[in-house]
Amino acid sequence: MFEFPKDYSFVINSAPTVLSRAGGLATRHGDVLTPAFMPVGTQGTVKGVTPEQLVEIGPQMILGNTYHLSLRPGDELVASMGGLHRFMAWDGPILTDSGGFQVHSLAAMRKVTDEGVSFRSHIDGSLCFLSPERSMEIQKNLGADIAMAFDECPPGRLGRPELETSVARTTKWLIRCRNFPLGEHQGLFAINQGGTFIDLRRRHLSEILEIDAKIPFQGFAIGGLSVGEPKEEMDALLSEFVKELPADKPRYLMGVGAPEDILFGIEQGVDLFDCVSPTREARHGRLVTSLGKINIKNAAHKNSDAPIDPNCRCYACRTFSRAYLHHLFKAGELLGLTLNTIHNLSYTVGLTQAARAAILNGTLPEFAQATRQLWQTEEIK
């Protein structure tokens, strides 16, 4: 039985002689056994599913987004409603993105300076400003269990000189975030940047650790990957760099959610993952399974009485056929999108849970090999 300490903390429950880790993160709103995948609830909802359905799916922590929730409905309104947990009826832990990714994704609508980011709202075009202090204030109002430091997330192919300027700015912003008083139950994660330049990653990590030595962070994230760089470069960086992050704090790989990338990250010692891809792909009929990926829109599934995945016990797989899900998608029925989402999230969350069990049993290499072999199974796509 895994025992959590009473205070906010992270402990490792697996052998220190291997890179992969099984650990546990204790928060006021519940405990998180790692490795774990966190579904993204950008605007206070994980798209397509209810909180009750999420409980059955089994994620232990979900995400909210500082940028989006501050614009609509507004962080002060959420605070007046008792915080994001009560507002969206989710009792488990919540991590909030700082808004830094929007610095990357809304490039055409913003201006970045050392003070912060000026941008036009994507909702009504009004002028807004997001600084490290404002990001922390929003996350404090939302009541997140884990707040992310405000960073500048650069595109994947940014040149070295521009990337160095961006990383230096992220360090300055990190100091300002660390100096902002959050709620007593809230932890703060630092975000490491540096693209695929490992020397720049190491330099930035040393700067983060200097700040950490004065006022400790509760975790460390790797940002700025899966943003346009070749997958081979991301994997090479992770295989060298993850093990250099502090071993006594959770390691969070931001924005990475493909099953093959999650499994690789776990093998390198990553503890936490998040991504919109399981829910987004579900809405397009693209499903992840233990036998590889399928597209439920394809005519090959029109007459199939098989479940999405014979090895999955989620509500969608134990109840409905591929033919029914194919019909729902073609008919434009919203239930189809919900069932697809239930499955994709169940498979992704289940993958991290199965990997944790394998780590504790000392069989992760065998588990990883068997999982990858199944993904290569010849099947109707």
Task: Say what the pLDDT of residue 1 is.
Answer: 41
Q: 254 in a domain, yes or no?
A: yes
Nearest to 283 by CA among 238, 320, 240, 333: 333
Q: What does DSSP say about strands 219-222 and 251-253: parallel, antiparallel, or unpaired? A: parallel
Residues 122 and 264 in one domain: yes
Work out the angle between the directed axes of helices 334-361 and 364-375 (0-180°, nearest 10): 150
Asked which of 227, 243, 275 is the last residue of a domain, the reply is: 275
**Mean pLDDT over each residue of the chain, to the nearest integer:** 94
DSSP tag of 150:
P
Q: 321 in a domain, yes or no?
A: yes
Residues 35 and 178 in one domain: yes
Residues 193 and 291 in one domain: no
CATH number for the domain that contains residue 131: 3.20.20.105
287 has which bridge partners? 294
pLDDT digits (tens, 9 = 90+) for 334-374: 999 999 999 999 999 999 999 999 999 999 999 999 999 99
Nearest to 69 by CA among 58, 55, 85: 85
Q: 221 in a domain, yes or no?
A: yes
Work out the angle between the directed axes of helices 231-241 and 259-268 (0-180°, nearest 10): 20
**Looking at this protein, which amino acid is placed at residue 142?**
L
pLDDT tops 90 at residue 4: no
Task: Say what the pLDDT of residue 35 is.
Answer: 97
pLDDT tops 50 at residue 2: no
Residues 294 and 269 in one domain: no
Q: What is the pTM of this model?
A: 0.96
Mean pLDDT (whole number) for 17-31: 93
Catalytic position from the list 97, 145, 261, 309: 97
Pure H helices in 111-214: 132-142, 160-178, 198-214
Q: 100 in a domain, yes or no?
A: yes
Catalytic position from the list 145, 212, 274, 309: 274
Is 97 annotated in the active site? Answer: yes
Mean pLDDT (whole number) for 200-208: 98
Q: How confident is the model at residue 121 (pLDDT cuts 50, 70, 90)?
A: confident
Residue 327 belongs to what domain range? Answer: 283-375
Instruction: Say if residue 73 is exposed, middle or buried (CB neighbours under 10 Å; 0-12, 13-18, 19+).
Output: middle
Residues 214 and 105 in one domain: yes
Nearest to 167 by CA among 220, 207, 133: 207
Mean pLDDT (whole number) for 127-134: 95
Is 114 annotated in the active site? Answer: no
Residues 219 and 344 in one domain: no
